[in-house]
């Protein structure tokens, strides 16, 4: 099975800039983990839930299209819903923004139903350093593509992390697709 799929043109640079503009005026909340635990050693990022952002409906439409395409061509998982709001995270060098190794499938009622994760790179990679999304589907580490608008899609059980941002700010959009348990 291919464990990590990239759609390099999921969003255009212009669209990413538009999303960042919408999010800039929305209130943030300190990023929690699955089940709302907060462990700053594991994750440091500010979060905006896209469902709370006026004018962002079109983003969900695109997300559904990109995830459906990736699932139909690569994963063929049984997926039936997007049950959590997409989130935009900001990892800031001033806070050593990062997210240590984790998988996205958790014990909560929603997190337990996560099947696919999609992460979209919203920032121009020339505007920050560090902040690399890395995946470990097997023994080795696979770096995600970092181009603005590129989407990385992977099963929610795959270990991944974001290395500390050392300069600038990195914004990402994360969404989960849900369905019945793997079997």
Q: What's the CA gap between 145 and 177, in Å, rounded?
A: 20
| CB burial string 47-71: b at 16+ within 10 A, e below | bbbbeebeebeebeeebeebbeebb
Which residue from 98, 114, 160, 178 is in contact with ligand AKG, where contact means CB under 6 A?
A: 160
The two structure tokens encoding residue 146: 């970092």
Q: What's the CA gap between 50 and 87, in Å, rounded?
A: 6
In the complex, the smallest distance separating the C-beta of residue 102 from Fe ion, rounded to whole angstroms, is: 6
**Is 133 a residue that touches ligand AKG (CB under 6 A)?**
yes
Which residue from 162, 165, 169, 177 is in contact with ligand AKG, where contact means CB under 6 A?
A: 162
How many chain residues interact with ligand AKG (CB under 6 A)?
9
Binding mask 81-120 toward Fe ion (x if CB under 5 A, else -) reads: -----------------------x----------------
Is the CB of 111 or the CB of 183 nearer to ligand AKG? 111
Residue 136 CA neighbour count, 13 Å, CB half: 11
Q: Which of 175, 177, 178, 179 is nearest to 47 (CA)?
A: 175
Q: Cα torsion for 16, 43, 102, 150, to the nearest 10°? A: 10
Residues 5-34 interacting with Fe ion (rule: CB under 5 A): none
Is the CB of 23 or the CB of 183 nearer to ligand AKG? 23
Residue ranges that bind ligand AKG, judged by CB under 6 A: 89, 99, 104, 119, 133, 160, 162, 172, 174
**Residue numbers at the binding site for Fe ion (CB under 5 A):** 104
């Amino acid at each position: 099975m291919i464990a990590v799929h990239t759609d390099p043109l999921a969003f255009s640079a212009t669209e990413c800039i538009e999303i960042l503009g919408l999010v800039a005026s929305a209130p943030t909340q300190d990023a929690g983990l699955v089940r709302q635990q907060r462990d700053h050693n594991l994750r440091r990022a500010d979060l905006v839930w896209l469902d709370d952002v006026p004018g962002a409906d079109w983003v969900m439409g695109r997300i559904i299209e990109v995830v459906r395409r990736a699932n139909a061509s690569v994963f063929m998982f049984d997926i039936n819903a997007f049950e959590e709001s997409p989130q935009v995270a900001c990892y800031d060098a001033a806070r050593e923004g990062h997210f240590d190794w984790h998988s996205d499938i958790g014990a909560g009622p929603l997190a337990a139903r996560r099947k696919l994760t999609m992460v979209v790179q919203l920032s121009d990679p020339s505007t920050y350093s560090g902040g690399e999304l890395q995946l470990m589907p097997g023994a080795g580490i696979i770096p995600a593509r970092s181009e603005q608008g590129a989407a990385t899609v992977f099963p929610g059980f795959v270990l991944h992390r974001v290395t500390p941002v050392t300069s600038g700010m990195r914004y990402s959009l994360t969404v989960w697709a849900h369905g019945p348990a793997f079997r």
